[in-house]
Amino acid sequence: MELGYARIMRRAIGVVIVGVAAYLVMQPLVVADVLGRPHDTSTQMINLRASWGGTLAGLGGFIAWLPGLRPWKRTVVGLVTWAMAGIGLARLIGFALDGDPDTRQYIWITAEVVLAVGGAAILKTFAKAWK
């Protein structure tokens, strides 16, 4: 019974974190004002969305997904996968809302997609071995 309660709480906490992250992704000026970060260009706005809201979204998704800390390999691969998925999604939202991404933004999104998809493939491949 305790295991079921812990899983429900972990998922609930993850969903709450993702909700806060969604707010930060959609309101990057909140982050800019609190942290004193520049927000004059579309690239800076995209970075605010991805760096703060996206990272938090990935962390929330990871917490909700995490089946257990062991084995450590699954935990590390899962953390990287979820972090890159959250950051990449926030960056894509920035592309759509802020427009005009520079070349570096395209490099970042490519790396994030490769890491998220690669991590998901590794998790699927080793799912039975890492139970």
- How confident is the model over 2-42, as pLDDT tens digits? 568 888 999 999 999 999 999 999 999 999 999 888 888 99
Q: Rounded to an integer, what distance in angstroms lies between the CA atom of residue 71 and that of residue 49?
A: 32
Which tens digits make up the pLDDT trace of 99-120?
A: 889 999 999 999 999 999 999 9
Query: Domain locations in the chain?
Result: 2-125
The Cα-based distances of 112 to 21, 84, 108, 117 in angstroms read 18, 5, 6, 8
Contacts of 60 (CB under 8 A, 6+ apart): 13, 14, 15, 16, 17, 18, 19, 20, 21, 86
